[in-house]
Each structure stands twice: as C-alpha cells, then as structure tokens.
C-alpha cells in the first residue's frame, strides 16, 4: 500500500489573508513532508512541493463579500470543493487535515473518521453576526472530531469560545515574512518607481466595500490631492474594474492588480509614505502588519473591515495604532484629504517614526508567532 499523504489542505482561496496563513507555515515545513491541496482557485506559486487539485470556481477574493452575505451562498459555493476533497481523501488517506474555515473541515468529517485523520481548522471570521443559532449548536456538537482551532485575534477567540472548547483554541497573530523586514534602499526604490516628489499612499487587499475602497477612491479623487499625491491600489475584488477605470482618468491613481510576489510588495510598501490599511477592533489586517515590517506608518479606517460590525457602529480604537500610524474617519473625503495634506506638510513621517514601526512589527508580528503551531503540526503527522 502506498504511503499516506501527511497533510491535506482544503481551502476555497489561494490569495488573501486566510491563504497567507497556510503559505507561511508551508514554507517552513521540511520538503520531505507529503502535502496535497484541494482548492477552488489555482495557485500561481507553490510554497512547498505538493500535489495540487483545483476546480474552476469563482474567485473567492473577488466574490467573497457576496458569498459570505448568506449561509446558503457559502454552502452552495463549498459543495464542489468538498466533493473534490472527499475524493482526494479516499485515495490519499491524509494523516492531518487543515481546513480554511469550519465548512472546509466539517464537510469531510465522515471520510476523515474512516481515514483516522486528525483535524485542524483555521478560522478567520465570526459566528455571532453570521451563523444561525441552530447551526452554531451543530458546530459545537461536532467539535469532538476537531483537534485544534486556530484564530488570529483575541476577539475571534472570544467569539468562537461560545461554541468551541477553550482547550482546543489557539491564537496566532498575523506575522510578516522575513522579506518585509529586510533593509532596502528607499530612495532608490522611489526613484525607480517614479515616486520622487510625490506623497505616496498604498492600499493592498481585497478591492471592495468591506475594505472601505469606495471612500479611499473618493479621497484619491479630491482635487487638492491631484498634483502631489499618488495612490496605488493592489488587489482584486468587486471594485477592481472601477478602480482600474479611474486610474485611466486620474493621473494620481494607479492600479496594480493582485501582487503575489512578496519582494515586489515589500518594495512598494517600503517606498510608500503611508499604507492605507484596515483592521478589526482588536487587530491589524495582514497588509498593515507587512507595511509596519517595512518601516512604513499606517493609516487605518475607523470602521472595522467587517461589514456588519461597521453597520452596527463598532469603531477601531486609536490605541491600536498608537505610535505607528493614525485612525482616519470614513465620513467626508474632503476632510480626509485635508488630514493627508497636514500629514504631508508637517513632515511628521520621519525616519524615527519609520524605525518605530519596524521595531513594533519585530516585537509583535515576527514569524516566530508560528513556531508553536508548526510544532503541533509535526507532532500530528508523526508516528
């Protein structure tokens, strides 16, 4: 009988923050570990030697906001991927399954029991505002088949604790890969990228309403920012076409699509004066963490990048960016433009601030955040 696959990863997406978690720890595993991935999206650059199985599904990073708006949409979207994953499991009998979200794992539970596979769930979401109570109870009852649930913040942990035992929960805060901490010649990068004489603001992430892109785009089009500012938008999503069209009209707006190469993204973050990022009320999103590792201060929208929280009036606290950036109100683009002009004119964005950002990232968002999790993975596939 052929050797069992060590790890099977089941994920709807191979881009964005949730996939970056997988990419990060896969790069640190020994090449001898046998890994398979089932995904609803192709993978441009594999972080590890692996078998890759994909289906021609709608891109999650483009339609995720719509998919997540209703549980029925989530289930309908997941069915093809789960059928593929179950088929692969029957053939490969993985020692460990790691799923991107509860649905990715619970949809393969019967066969995982037959294969005697251990199970880890990487959870990047919320139950309280999205999942019906009846489904929460079912998720709670099935937790006995799960070995570990990984979340990325204390807020997520508190939310999941209402359903999953605390003993099975582990918080792994976002980290920045080493490429973002590398020293780079900022002046040379700015010259090479045609940024000299400009105040440069970069947005990286899903290009949609949930990440407040409409407001950032309106701010970029303010007449007062036309001559001295450059806005770069990196990513894909429901508003990507709109941003691209505006980049053809407004000379201070640039659209770069999704950037998968970390060195290119690190160069862009390093060269920028600010990275306009987003957050939940208790943690920074990954682009903010990576920007800080590059030494670039962040500008964070005051509304969480979780649409239902934003609608309920939840706010991102000033303390989250103290000493490393600013919170900006998502209210009036003209006022936001005035705020950006003040930042530019007061020259507060100096080398001391950039150094503070780098130190903060090294202390709180180093890749060492992954060490304990990787040890758990190794133990799970041993023997």
For residue range 296-345, list pLDDT tens digits in order: 999 999 999 888 888 889 899 999 999 999 999 999 999 999 999 999 98
Mean pLDDT score, 141-156: 86
Q: ∠ CA 214-216-219 to the nearest 5 degrees?
A: 110
Average pLDDT of the chain?
A: 89
Counting residues of the chain whose pLDDT is more than 90, the rounded percentage is 57
Q: Report the first-to-last Cα separation within the chain, whole angstroms.
A: 17
Instruction: Judge whether 252 and 275 are in contact, CB under 8 Å.
Output: no
Q: How confident is the model at residue 131 (pLDDT cuts 50, 70, 90)?
A: low
Mean pLDDT score, 153-164: 84
Say whether 20 sits in a helix, a strand or coil: helix
What is d(CA 48, CA 63) in angstroms, rounded to the nearest whole number? 27
Instruction: Judge whether 242 and 213 are in contact, CB under 8 Å.
Output: no
More confident residue, 223 or 69: 223
Which residue is listed with tokens 């199985």? 53
Instruction: List the alpha helices (DSSP H) in 93-195.
Output: 102-106, 109-115, 133-141, 154-160, 178-181, 186-192
Q: What is the pTM of this model?
A: 0.87
The whole-number pLDDT of residue 265 equals 96
pLDDT at 46 over 70: yes
Q: Within a 10 A sphere around the Cβ of 337, how many other Cβ atoms?
A: 20
Query: Measuring CA to CA, which residue among 212, 224, 222 is closest to residue 233?
Result: 212
What is d(CA 249, CA 230) in angstroms, rounded to the nearest whole number? 13
What is d(CA 121, CA 97) in angstroms, rounded to the nearest whole number? 8
pLDDT at 348 over 70: yes
More confident residue, 74 or 243: 243
The whole-number pLDDT of residue 78 equals 83
- Per domain, the residue ranges of the chain are 7-174+367-381, 178-364
Q: Which two tokens stand for residue 355?
A: 């150094």
The whole-number pLDDT of residue 349 equals 76
- For 7-174+367-381, CATH gives 3.40.50.2000
What is d(CA 105, CA 125) in angstroms, rounded to the nearest whole number? 15
pLDDT at 126 over 70: no
Q: How confident is the model at residue 4 (pLDDT cuts 50, 70, 90)?
A: confident
Torsion angle, CA of 345/349/350/355, rounded to 10 degrees?
180
- For 178-364, CATH gives 3.40.50.2000
The whole-number pLDDT of residue 220 equals 98
Mean pLDDT score, 111-131: 81
Q: ∠ CA 12-18-23 to the nearest 5 degrees?
A: 95
178-364 shares the fold of 7-174+367-381? yes
For residue range 164-201, list pLDDT tens digits in order: 888 999 999 899 999 999 999 999 999 999 999 999 99
pLDDT at 65 over 50: yes
Reading phi first (left if > 0) and then psi (alpha if -120 to 50, else beta), residue 83 is in: alpha
Q: How confident is the model at residue 163 (pLDDT cuts 50, 70, 90)?
A: confident
Mean pLDDT score, 24-28: 87
pLDDT at 1 over 50: no
What is d(CA 278, CA 203) in angstroms, rounded to the nearest whole number? 9
Mean pLDDT score, 10-29: 85
pLDDT at 24 over 90: no
Counting residues of the chain whose pLDDT is more than 70, the rounded percentage is 95
For residue range 202-230, list pLDDT tens digits in order: 999 999 999 999 999 999 999 999 999 99
The whole-number pLDDT of residue 264 equals 96
């Amino acid at each position: 009988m052929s050797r069992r696959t060590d790890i099977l990863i089941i994920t709807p997406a191979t881009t964005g923050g949730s996939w970056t978690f997988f990419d990060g720890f896969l790069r640190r595993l020994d090449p001898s570990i046998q890994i398979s991935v089932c995904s609803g999206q192709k993978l441009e650059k594999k972080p590890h030697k692996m078998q890759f199985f994909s289906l021609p599904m709608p891109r999650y990073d483009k339609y995720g906001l719509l998919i997540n708006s209703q549980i029925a949409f989530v289930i309908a979207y997941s069915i093809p991927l789960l059928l593929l994953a179950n088929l692969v499991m029957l053939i490969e009998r993985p020692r460990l399954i790691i799923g991107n979200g509860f649905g990715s794992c619970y949809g393969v539970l019967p066969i995982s029991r037959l294969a005697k596979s251990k199970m880890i769930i990487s959870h990047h979401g919320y139950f309280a505002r999205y999942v019906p109570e009846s489904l929460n109870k079912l998720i709670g009852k099935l937790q006995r088949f799960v070995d570990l649930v990984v979340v990325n913040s204390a807020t997520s942990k508190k939310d999941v604790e209402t359903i999953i035992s605390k003993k099975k929960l582990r918080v792994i805060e976002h980290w920045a890969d080493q490429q973002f901490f590398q020293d780079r010649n900022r002046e040379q990068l700015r010259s090479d990228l045609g940024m000299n004489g400009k105040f440069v603001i970069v947005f990286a992430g899903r290009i949609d309403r949930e990440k407040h892109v409409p407001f950032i785009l309106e701010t970029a089009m303010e007449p007062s920012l036309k001559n001295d500012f450059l806005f770069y938008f990196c990513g894909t999503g429901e508003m990507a076409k709109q941003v691209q069209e505006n980049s053809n009209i407004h000379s201070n707006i640039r659209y770069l699509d999704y950037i998968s190469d970390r060195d290119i993204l690190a160069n862009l973050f390093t060269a920028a004066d600010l990275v306009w990022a987003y957050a939940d009320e208790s943690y920074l999103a990954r682009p903010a963490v990576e920007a800080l590792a590059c030494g670039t201060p962040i500008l964070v929208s005051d509304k969480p990048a979780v649409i239902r929280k934003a609608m309920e009036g939840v706010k991102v606290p000033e303390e989250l960016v103290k000493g490393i950036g600013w919170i900006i109100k998502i209210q009036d683009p003209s006022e936001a433009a005035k705020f950006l002009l003040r930042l530019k004119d007061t020259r507060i964005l100096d080398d001391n601030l950039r150094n503070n950002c780098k130190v903060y990232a090294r202390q709180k968002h180093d890749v060492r955040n992954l060490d304990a999790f990787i040890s758990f993975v190794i133990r799970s596939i041993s023997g």
